[in-house]
Structure 1
C-alpha cells in the first residue's frame, strides 16, 4: 500500500512539475518526465507512461495558432524521417539493459542542456533545408527511440529556421506530436506498451495540464530566461545522475 501511494505521488508530482516547465518555457514535459521517472523505473516503462500527457499537451500547443498547414508543408521531410528513426530506434530503448538505456537518456539530457545553455544562436538558410531536414529528422528519431527524449537536434534546428515566435511554438508542438506518435508505434511494435500503462498515462494528463496552467501564471511573474536557465541546470544534474549509474 505504501509503495502504491509513493508511486502515484511520484507520478503526480513528476507530471505537475513537467507541465509547469512546459507552461513557462513552451517545452520540456517529456524531457523532465523521462528524467525523473527514469530514476525509479526502466526508461521503456517511463516512455510508455508519458505518451498520453505528452500527446495531449503537444496537440494543445500545436493548435495554438493558424500556421499548421504551412509548417507541415515546410517540415514534412524531417517529420517523415523522425517517424522512421523513432520506430527503429525504439528497439534500443526496449532491449538494452535499463542501466545503459538510462545512461543514454542521461547523456541526451546533458548534451541538450549544455547546448541550450552555451551554444550561440544559429541561422540556417532556407536553401539548406531540403537536405538538412531529413538528416535532422533521422538523428532526432533515433535519439527519441533510444531515450524517449524528443529534443535533440530538432529543437535547435527549428530555432535556427527564422520562424516567428508563434510559428516556432507551433513547429515545436508539431515535431513533439509526431515524435510522440512514432514513439508509441515503436513501443507497440516491440511489445513494450501495455494496457495498464495506458491507464497510468491517461491519469497523468490532469497533473500535466494543471502544471501547464500554473506555469502560465508563473511566466507572467518571473523571467522566462532565468527560469529556463535553472531548468537546464537541473537537467544537467539529473543527466549526470542517470549517466553515472553504470559506473557506480
Structure 2
C-alpha cells in the first residue's frame, strides 16, 4: 500500500475542473445506478459508467466506481464465516481475476483516451448482452478450474476497462452449481479481491492516492440514496420488464460511447 498518498491522485484534479451541472450529472448517474440495483440487482457501475464517462475519462470513471463495489460486497463476503473453504473452492476464478486486473489496468493506463472509451463501450455491450441472454450451462468437474480461471480473467478485464465484472462471474458460479447464499458469498469474495487488485495496480501504475479512495467511497452515498428512493416503488414495478428496458438503454449508451470515440471512422 506504499503507492498510496493523500497528495497524489487522479480523481481530484478532474473533479475540480468540472462545473456544477457536471457534478450533478455524475451524482444523477450514481443515483440512477442505485435505483436500478434496488429493483433488479444489476450492479451500479453498469448503469452509471456510460453516463459518468460523459464527464470523466474512462480511467478515472473506473476508479470512481471501484469503492462502491467493495463496500457493497464486504458484508456478503463475510456473512456466514467459512472463509477459507470458500476461498479454496473459488481459487481458480480468484487467481484469474488478480492476473486479469493487473494486465487490464496496465492496458487501460497505456491506451489513448478514445481507445479506452471504445474498449469500455465494448465491455459494457458484452455485459448487457450476457445479462439479457442469461446463458445457462453445466460445467463438468474436470473443466471447472480452467473455465473458472478463464472467466475470472475475462471478468477482471471487464472490471478494469468498464467496472463491470459481475456478468461473467455470475455465469461461471451458476454453471459450477453455486446457489443461494453460497453464490452470494462466492461472488462477493471474488469482487472484493478483484477490486482491491485493481486499486492496488492503479496506485502503482497511475499514481492513484488515498484521496481517490476517499472520493470513490463517497460515491457510494448517492448510489445508496438511489436504492432507498426506489424502495417505495419497487413492488409496483415489474422487475423483468424494468430490467430489459434498462439493459437496452445501457446497450444504446455503450454503442454511443464507441461512436463518440471515433475509432470506427
Query: TM over 0.5: same fold?
Result: yes
Aligned counterparts of 2:124 and 2:156: Cα–Cα separation in 1: 15
Does residue 1:107 correspond to 2:122, yes or no?
Answer: yes
Deviations 1:17-46 (A, max 9, x none): 112222223332122232221222211111
**How is 1:52-131 mapped onto 2 (pairs within 5 angstroms)?**
52-63=67-78, 68-118=83-133, 120-131=135-146
Q: Is structure 2 residue 137 aligned with structure 1 residue 137?
A: no
CA RMSD of aligned residues (A): 2.5
- Structure with greater Cα Rg: 2
Looking at structure 2, the residues matched to 66 and 164 of structure 1 have their Cα atoms a distance apart, in angstroms, of 17
Deviations 1:187-230 (A, max 9, x none): 11212423443342232121122223345554433332222212
The corresponding residue for 1:227 is 242
Unpaired segments of 5 or more residues in structure 2? 1-15
Superposed displacement of residue 238, structure 1:
1.2
Alpha-carbon contact 1:43-1:148 (below 8 Å) kept: no
**Structure 1 unaligned spans of 5+:** none
Would you say the 8 A contact 1:88–1:186 is kept in 2? no
More displaced, 24-33 or 238-247?
A: 24-33
Task: Report if aligned partners of 1:53, 1:202 keep a CA contact under 8 Å in 2.
Answer: yes
Tell me how far 1:237 sits from its aligned partner. Answer: 0.8
2:54 corresponding residue in structure 1: 39
Taking structure 2 as the reference length, the TM-score comes to 0.82
| Correspondent of 1:151 among 157, 166, 177 | 166
Aligned residues: 248
Report the Cα offset of residue 83 of structure 1.
Answer: 1.0
**Could you tell me the TM-score, scaled by structure 1's length?**
0.87
Q: What is aligned with 1:205?
A: 220
CA contact (8 A) 2:135 2:171 kept: no
Aligned residue number for residue 196 of structure 2 = 181
- The answer to whether the Cα contact below 8 Å between 1:84 and 1:138 also exists between their aligned partners in 2 is yes
